[in-house]
Amino acid sequence: MRFYKFICVLFTGVGITSFYGQSKINCDLVEISNIAFEKNPNIIRSNYTIKDAEGDFQIQRSVFDVNLVSELAVKHNKYTLFDADPRNEYMDKFLKTNTLDFSAGLKKKLRSGQTTDISLKYGFNNNNYPYDGFDQYVGAFWGNHLSSVNFSLTQPLLKGRGREITTISERVSQLYIENTKSNNEFTNSYTILQIGQAYWSYYLAYKSLEIYKENESRVKNVLEVTKETYKSR
């Protein structure tokens, strides 16, 4: 079966002139459909729309991903003591302090609307003052360590306990995906309908042309026979 592809090119100038050309390709209805699905811009745009909707859905779900929070702070302070400060007896006029603070935590917002938070904190500090808070001699730069572990679970108390608000964007994205897929099915169906109509219209014209040619040939034969019969008389 042969399929004719018509191309129209317009040139503008003093007037408008139309040029028409055609080319032949050997293919059937299935091959024509495959070419249309690969080249049709409406189908390509529809597929991109579905991918965009699925990407937006993934973005909405990323709200519930685990978030890592960490912090590290190191400080070195040097404080000049006043002349009347009694600590000058044990130090060389300077109070030197070292501080280290470290914290790390995980946060996650659940689809039920709850928010969880677990964290670890560690702190260390020392100075060159040789006595502790109880006036006991411990030596210079005797460090103090402080650590804590915290776990919290926050539950909204409003209507729906936060779930409706938390998942509304996700549900909207799912509906948008369904909508784009339905539009894609409609576009594909409409394209198949147009391909089928164009194919069978061409097929009908092609067969009609063959019939007309055969009929013309028969009429010519009848005409020749008639002429020969007339001459024989």
Decide if pLDDT at 208 tops 50: yes
Specify the pLDDT at position 105.
96
- ∠ at Cα 218 (212, 220), nearest 5°? 100
Averaged pLDDT for residues 71-78 = 95
Predicted pLDDT of residue 159: 57
Res 84 pLDDT > 90: no
For the segment 121-160, what is each residue's pLDDT rounded down to a tens digit? Answer: 999 999 999 988 888 898 889 989 999 999 998 887 765 5
Here the tokens at position 108 are 């996650």
- CB under 8 Å, gap of 24 or more: what pairs does 127-130 form? 127/95, 127/96, 127/97, 127/98, 128/91, 128/94, 128/95, 128/96, 129/87, 129/90, 129/91, 129/95, 130/90
| pLDDT tens-place string over residues 178-191 | 999 998 888 888 88
Average pLDDT over residues 41-49: 85
The whole-model pTM stands at 0.48
Instruction: Provide the total of helices (H) and of strands (E) in the chain, helices listed first.
Output: 3, 6
Cβ(104)–Cβ(70) under 8 Å? yes
Token pair recorded at residue 153: 């679970």
Distance CA 198, CA 42 (A): 17
Q: Provide mean pLDDT across the span 162-171.
A: 69
With cut-offs at 50, 70 and 90, classify the pLDDT of residue 99.
very high
Domain boundaries, the chain: 28-60+170-232, 65-160
